[in-house]
Structure 1
Amino acid sequence: MSDQQQAPVTDELPDSPFHTTGTDHITIWGSNEADTIEFYRDLLGMPLVLRQPNLDDPSQTHLFFDTGDGRILTFFVSDDRPSAQGVRGGVGAVHHLCFSVDPERYEAVMDALDEAGHHYNVFDRGIFHSIYTKDNNGLVIELSADKYDIPDDRRAEVLATTQRIREEDGAEYAKDEHMAAALEELGLDATPYDLPDASSGVGGVN
């Protein structure tokens, strides 16, 4: 697809029949209840807010976790399904799930993963920092920390402005300096959080 044919990147609402108002929940095929709760509640700190039968298949249990901002992650689980350490990819499959963590608790997150015996990698992704680990089923979990304090109601505007500045700079991907410039242009605080040095990981994560 040529540059002329590419869809524009903008925070403006598209001319579509309707617009979604947010993410309500995401549902994953899980293994069993105990392992799922151990990872998502006991390690990642997501409250288990609802448990009921899977209404499409009452032989399974439907677990609802609050990811921290009222958005919900749910799992269909069954006690006869062991956790697995291999997730198959392919078109339509989930590549990874990403959850936000407090930038000021970033080191504590890594310490907790170490203590729980979960291997992880840390990358500086240009406009945010990411810790990658895996859940009990081998699904890649990204824990991201913003480099800057971005108001939720202006996040799309900040990202679209960062994109424009990146393109003007001819850079391959959005970097720290592009977002800082976008924040300054929009009159927002561009003071970065103190996050550890890390490689970009470009080309190294599948």
Structure 2
Amino acid sequence: MTRSESRVQVQGLHHVTIVGSTRQSAIDFWEGVLGMPFVFEQPNLGNPAENHLYFDPGDGRLLTVFTDEGRTDAGRDAPREPGTVEHLAFTVSRATFQLAPARLRARGIEVLERDRGFMDSIYFRDPNGMKVELACYKFQTPEGWRDADVLRRAYELRVARGDANITAEHLADAIEDLLRR
């Protein structure tokens, strides 16, 4: 392989930018509903007609929103087609996860709860119809390992056993295997 054929190695997610409606709508949802502190704003340097708001989703990275005071909340489900984002998922603690459905419903936000085998999920929509997920793993990652290490080993065990999806047994066995290493 020549140098020009080498891949570009990423080291993590830097930020996600979404298209929102107004500044206040973005602040009300991302900070007001989801508790993401508003960090700063500036003009969208690629489109001066838009504003660019920055929020902290909790891990020090950023979620940014392009806003325009001439837009209104879409109030419909966002398109789901090739080239679009299906949803954004955010990590929450087990305690927050347990309280979230009632707190969202109290704000008039419809929620859908799902058991994903290795995690629990709550889905709902932002004011522009984009699907948002709150996710909570069903395991505690051992010291010195990453969540992805546990999930990769649980996946390997699931495949080897011919099971349809990752279960608590795969997770427990994966953690035991990792701790033996």
TM-score by length of 1: 0.80
Aligned AA for 1:34? Q
Q: Residues of 2 paired with 1:144 and 1:41: CA distance?
A: 18
Q: What is aligned with 1:105?
A: 96
**Structure 2: any 5+ residue segments left out of the alignment?**
none
Q: What is aligned with 1:95?
A: 86
Q: What is aligned with 2:37?
A: 47
User: Where do 4+ consecutive residues of structure 1 move more than 4 Å?
Assistant: none
3-state SS in 2 of match to 1:69: coil
Q: Residues of 1 paired with 2:145 and 2:49: CA distance?
A: 41
What whole-Å deviation, never above 9, does each CA across 1:61-83 have from its counterpart, x for those lacking one? 00111110012111111011111
Q: Residues of 2 paired with 1:112 and 1:155: CA distance?
A: 27
Is 1:57 aligned with 2:77?
no
Q: What is aligned with 1:119?
A: 110
Higher helix content, 1 or 2: 2
Q: Residues of 2 paired with 1:81 and 1:21: CA distance?
A: 35
Q: What is aligned with 1:35?
A: 25
3-state SS in 2 of match to 1:161: helix
Q: Residues of 2 paired with 1:28 and 1:59: CA distance?
A: 16
Q: What is aligned with 2:149?
A: 157
What whole-Å deviation, never above 9, does each CA across 1:58-109 have from its counterpart, x for those lacking one? 1110011111001211111101111112311211101000001111222221
Q: How many residues of Structure 1 are paired with residues of Structure 2 in the alignment? A: 174
Structure 1 vs Structure 2 CA RMSD: 1.7
3-state SS in 2 of match to 1:59: coil
